[in-house]
């Protein structure tokens, strides 16, 4: 009886030890302080996470494969941040505050700021790329912050003791690091490595400052930078994206006089082409498309539309016709059409392009390209 009771107790101890060990290991691997245990998340972050992507197909892969939070390393990282407190001078905090409000103010040295290379005044097309991609980056970061819900360093350990203003959002990943790294990835695409190295160093120093002031851990900034790199890699290798990138390179990074539109700084229109079709009438063909102005200002009274025809469907434009189109008001959708006789037998493609020569500035130029549409001509 006593022996049986002993075995029962032993079995229970072993089972209990196994269960205890399981939960202990699970806690080490999975547990970290949640932001919502300390404060409410800003509603603006939830709103941002629900916004639609400008380039949804390109963003989906990134947001569906998040990088896990390295919780087992958190204690060592907090100790590292505590050691960085000694570098937290008033001058460094002042620099942080300025660039945290606007990454364009990151100091590159020699009197130059990041805005001198990616700002809308000197490089409006490069700035358009940044605005396009950063809009999606902001949504990805907002979604990841809510998903991981990681506490800020000062909430995890009071010894971090930061006095700077901290956003009412979870810590992981860092939005500042994502935005700054995105600017860097864009400039690295266009600039020579030796010229870009100065900018890369300044961006990295700005990101590290976020750790020194205690706003973010290295985990936060590393993941923010990783998101920016992943997304820019996808966009820069996208077939339609390359066409616009080549245009930006030609206009702003070819070494000549940089493109400066006359209406820079004004309220802008934004033209977009959609629903291209072709109608056959005897030997002639009518090429049609809708043209929409979803910007805030009217277009110029006269602007150029280009009809492009690819005779062999090989990506080479064999025929290009420019014609003038009239004003499109904000919110207005109109139809454009061009009649053309084509006597090439076989299968061809066409598309419309609006404002191809960038005669005027728009909110966005990347969507000035219509879709390619195939059509056949008989013998």
Backbone phi, then psi, for 148, in 5-degree steps? -85, -35
Among 243, 259, 283, identify where a domain stops: 243
Mean pLDDT in consecutive groups of 10 residues from the start of the chain, 379 residues:
44 44 38 92 94 77 82 94 93 95 93 92 90 93 95 92 89 97 96 93 96 96 96 84 87 80 76 92 87 93 94 90 94 94 89 91 89 87
Residue at 333 is within a domain = yes
Task: Please report the DSSP string for 150-208 in residue order.
Answer: BPPHHHH-GGG---S---SS--SS-HHHHHHHHHHHHHHHHS-HHHHHHHHHHHHHHHH
Residue at 314 is within a domain = yes
Residue at 24 is within a domain = no
Check whether residue 300 and residue 195 sit in a common domain. Answer: no
Check whether residue 66 and residue 152 sit in a common domain. Answer: yes
Closest by alpha carbon to 270, among 156, 181, 367, 175? 367
Check whether residue 153 and residue 82 sit in a common domain. Answer: yes
Q: Which domain holds residue 50?
A: 32-243
Check whether residue 60 and residue 178 sit in a common domain. Answer: yes
Residue 372 · residue 310 · CB < 8 Å: yes
Residue at 254 is within a domain = no
Check whether residue 138 and residue 185 sit in a common domain. Answer: yes
pLDDT score at 367: 85
Tell whether the torsion through CA atoms of 177, 182, 183 and 187 is positive or negative: positive
Residue at 158 is within a domain = yes
Check whether residue 314 and residue 193 sit in a common domain. Answer: no
Check whether residue 227 and residue 109 sit in a common domain. Answer: yes
Residues 229 and 137: their CA atoms lie apart, in Å, by 10
SS3 state at 150: strand
Check whether residue 278 and residue 209 sit in a common domain. Answer: no
Residue 359 · residue 259 · CB < 8 Å: no
The CATH number assigned to the domain holding 75 equals 1.20.144.10
The CATH number assigned to the domain holding 342 equals 2.60.40.10
Closest by alpha carbon to 45, among 171, 224, 169? 169
Query: Would you say the pTM of this structure is higher than 0.85?
Result: no
pLDDT score at 274: 94
Check whether residue 118 and residue 227 sit in a common domain. Answer: yes
Q: Hey, what are 239's tokens?
A: 């077939």
Check whether residue 275 and residue 211 sit in a common domain. Answer: no
Residues 263 and 287: their CA atoms lie apart, in Å, by 31
Residue at 219 is within a domain = yes
Check whether residue 129 and residue 214 sit in a common domain. Answer: yes
Residue 162 · residue 153 · CB < 8 Å: yes
Residue at 309 is within a domain = yes
Give the count of domains, the chain. Answer: 2
Q: Hey, what are 306's tokens?
A: 């280009």
pLDDT score at 219: 97
pLDDT score at 266: 75
pLDDT score at 8: 45
pLDDT score at 377: 85
Check whether residue 333 and residue 215 sit in a common domain. Answer: no
């Amino acid at each position: 009886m006593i022996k049986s009771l002993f075995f029962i107790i032993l079995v229970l101890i072993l089972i209990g030890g196994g269960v205890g060990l399981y939960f202990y290991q699970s806690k080490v691997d999975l547990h970290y302080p949640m932001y919502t245990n300390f404060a409410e998340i800003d509603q603006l972050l939830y709103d941002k996470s629900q916004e639609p992507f400008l380039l949804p197909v390109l963003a989906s892969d990134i947001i569906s494969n998040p990088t896990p939070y390295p919780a087992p390393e958190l204690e060592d990282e907090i100790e590292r941040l505590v050691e960085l407190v000694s570098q937290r001078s008033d001058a460094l905090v002042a620099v942080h505050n300025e660039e945290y409000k606007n990454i364009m103010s990151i100091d590159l040295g020699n009197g130059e700021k990041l805005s001198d290379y990616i700002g809308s005044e000197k490089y409006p097309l490069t700035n358009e790329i940044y605005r396009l991609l950063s809009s999606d980056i902001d949504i990805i970061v907002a979604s990841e912050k809510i998903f991981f819900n990681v506490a800020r360093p000062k909430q995890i350990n009071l010894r971090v003791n930061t006095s700077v203003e901290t956003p009412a959002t979870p810590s992981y990943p860092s939005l500042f690091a994502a935005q700054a790294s995105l600017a860097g990835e864009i400039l690295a695409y266009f600039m020579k490595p030796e010229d870009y190295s100065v900018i890369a160093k300044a961006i990295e120093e700005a990101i590290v400052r976020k750790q020194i002031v205690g706003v973010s851990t290295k985990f936060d900034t590393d993941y923010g930078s990783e998101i920016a790199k992943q997304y820019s890699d996808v966009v820069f290798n996208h077939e339609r994206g390359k066409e616009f990138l080549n245009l930006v390179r030609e206009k702003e990074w070819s070494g000549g006089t940089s493109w400066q539109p006359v209406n820079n700084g004004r309220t802008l229109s934004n033209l977009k082409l959609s629903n291209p079709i072709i109608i056959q009438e005897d030997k002639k063909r009518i090429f049609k498309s809708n043209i929409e102005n979803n910007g805030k200002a009217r277009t110029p009274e006269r602007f150029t539309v280009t009809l492009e025809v690819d005779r062999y469907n090989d990506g080479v434009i064999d025929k290009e016709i420019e014609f003038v189109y009239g004003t499109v008001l904000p919110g207005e959708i109109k139809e454009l059409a061009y009649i053309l006789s084509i006597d090439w037998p076989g299968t061809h493609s066409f598309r419309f392009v609006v404002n191809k020569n960038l005669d005027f500035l728009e909110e966005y130029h990347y969507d000035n390209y219509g879709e390619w549409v195939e059509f056949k001509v008989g013998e």
